[in-house]
A = this chain, B = another copy of it.
Amino acid sequence: MSFQTNISHEVIRSSKLEEKAKELKPELFRKKIIPEHIVEVVENEEKMHGWEINNVKPASELSDEVLGKDNSLILDFGDHQVGYLSLSITPVGSPPDAPLHMRLTFGEMPVEMAESFSTYDGWISSSWLQEETIHVDVLPSELKLPRRYSFRYLKIEVLDTSPKYKVSFQHVAVETITSGDEGQVEAFVHDDEELVEIDRVSIKTLQDCMQDVFEDGPKRDRRLWLGDLRLQAMANYATFKNNDLVKRNLYQFAAVPNQNGQVSANLFVEPSLIPDDTFLFDYSLFFTTTLYDYYQATKDIETLKELWPIAYRQVEIGLERLDDKGIVQDDDSWWSFIDWHPDLNKQSPSQAILIYTLKRAILLAQELKEDTKIVELENHLEKVMEATHKYLWKDDIGFFVSGDKEQISWATQVWMVIAGVLDEAKSRELLLQVLDTQPEVEMNTPYMHHHLVEALFEVGLKKEATDWMRMYWGGMLRDGADTFWELYNPKDKTFSPYGNHLINSYCHAWSCTPTYLIRKYLN
């Protein structure tokens, strides 16, 4: 994600909380992976982005390949990998009388091997495109690249050697890293192979995003976002059970709120812990719900006690946006994420997320026996619920609306159901009407699709939920996903909110939730 913001803000840093986060620095599990095949990328209109990978020969024959100026080859590592590349380069011919100049291009998808990065014209930084040009002065050489890459395919291009020598490549390997311990994941047995595969790929997606923090995507943004963290934590409890990593990330957010006490939408952890200057209405509230989920998974009352003031403050900040009527104000002064959709009005889904959060905040306050706060929160909840029914629910059309123009979006209905604004029967009816009438303002991200499926499961529409998962995540699998993607619109497969699909992340945390959904609702 990337937002243009210019809110002036001050960081109120708590060294105590930051120190606790540091102590929870995760162990990284490492594995050496070697490529499986030398492949070629060819046009095929039927395939994702119009490109298909074909095997040419086993990668064990790599060292027989001799590359001179303008020669290239593509290696396939067999699956998505996150880690550090190393390779040996040997000169062939006369002693090398000029440096080797080469380009390495890393791709999660065939399209990254096929389309030149110089064609990139999106609005977010081209610096995310994973490509290095390197001069090697002395050959033979053992190259260890210092940057981490996220990829399945590696293109090696020799830009120049000299007329007197060429090169061959050996010992190409990636040392993968993750803080997700495979040994912790329980086997998932199910008759339906597609569900088993969706579960497997969800876990792989989560694993590749589990690094020093829960990253949103190992290719891009490689960063801790609250909205992603919430979903990753849910999937984590069902699989890797690295609960300390969730705890660490909660402490990190809690350590650097702004002068208003609001936690940032995302954090940088290098060169030191720095909150981004982006604040999102929904993401700040998710600090509280993520703490709630963490407490449910761990019953770690110490952490709850220590982070509760921050969690409570997020709810207060959410409530401060309510107008006199008890509705979240919609104007140009705020950002709420909800989904990547240029036309989506954020008011009503944000209202629903506030309700969803209030309910969990009350449960935490009860756990902590914060009696005054319980009463306060319950009063707020009652008012907000009332206002929601009064002003946002349109009984004549049977939908919640959002914003001045009374927009009817999938996001609004889904979040109202998740927030439990209606009873289960009415919620079920609402969702069936959504599926039936297909409101125009649709969902664009796996993040939003996750919430639809969760809502469907929650109201007992198990078949619809499962079918949707098969359609959407199963669709990604049929379109060649090794890990689930940041963005997938079955009706517009090249969709990118960034203006160019080359920059999309094809291993993205918010897409990893089917394992959570499957293991919770279908096991």
Interface residues of A (CB under 8 A from B): 2, 4-5, 69, 94-101, 123-128, 132-133, 135, 137-140, 147, 159-164, 220-221, 223, 268, 270-271, 274-277
Contact = CB atoms under 8 A, between A and B. Distances in A.
15 contacts: A2-B162, A5-B94, A69-B125, A95-B274, A95-B275, A96-B268, A97-B221, A123-B163, A124-B162, A125-B162, A127-B135, A127-B159, A127-B162, A135-B147, A140-B271
Given A159-B126, A270-B138, A277 B95 contact: yes
Contacts of A128: 98-99
Nearest to A272: B138
A69 B135 CA distance: 24
B271 A97 contact: no
Given A221-B97, A270-B138, A125 B160 contact: yes
A163 B135 CA distance: 30
Contacts of A125: 69, 98-99, 101, 160-163
Contacts of A140: 271
Contacts of A138: 270-271
Nearest to A264: B95
A318 to B, nearest CB: 24
A271 B90 CA distance: 12
A346 B101 CA distance: 34
Contacts of A99: 125, 127-128
Contacts of A133: 132-133
A229 B282 CA distance: 71
B97 A126 contact: no
Contacts of A271: 138-140
Contacts of A164: 2, 4-5
A268 B139 CA distance: 11
A501 B386 CA distance: 79
Contacts of A97: 2, 221, 223, 268, 276
A123 B69 CA distance: 11
Contacts of A123: 163
A372 B268 CA distance: 81
Copies in the complex: 2
Given A162-B2, A163-B4, A164-B4, A124 B137 contact: no
Nearest to A503: B98
Contacts of A276: 94-95, 97
Contacts of A137: 147, 270
A289 to B, nearest CB: 24
Nearest to A5: B94
Nearest to A163: B4
Contacts of A4: 163-164
B95 A124 contact: no
A100 B124 contact: no
A162 B101 CA distance: 27
Contacts of A275: 95
Residue of A5, A97, A147, A220 contacting most chain B CB atoms (<10 Å): A97
Contacts of A160: 125-127
Contacts of A69: 125
A99 B127 CA distance: 6
Contact of A98 (B5, B100, B127): B127
Closest 7 CB pairs of A and B: A98-B125, A101-B127, A125-B162, A99-B127, A138-B270, A127-B160, A126-B160
Residue of A138, A162, A277 contacting most chain B CB atoms (<10 Å): A162
A155 to B, nearest CB: 16
A68 B98 CA distance: 33
A164 B277 CA distance: 10
A144 to B, nearest CB: 12
Contacts of A268: 95-97
A245 to B, nearest CB: 21
Residue of A135, A270, A271 contacting most chain B CB atoms (<10 Å): A135
A140 B274 CA distance: 12
A161 B125 CA distance: 6
A132 B268 CA distance: 27
A503 to B, nearest CB: 10
Given A133-B133, A137-B270, 12 more contacts: A2-B163, A94-B277, A95-B277, A97-B221, A97-B276, A98-B125, A98-B220, A124-B162, A125-B162, A126-B159, A127-B160, A138-B271
A133 B104 CA distance: 12
A274 B91 CA distance: 13
Nearest to A126: B160
Contacts of A101: 125-127
Residue of A95, A99, A125, A277 contacting most chain B CB atoms (<10 Å): A125
A253 B99 CA distance: 22
Nearest to A277: B94
Contacts of A100: 127
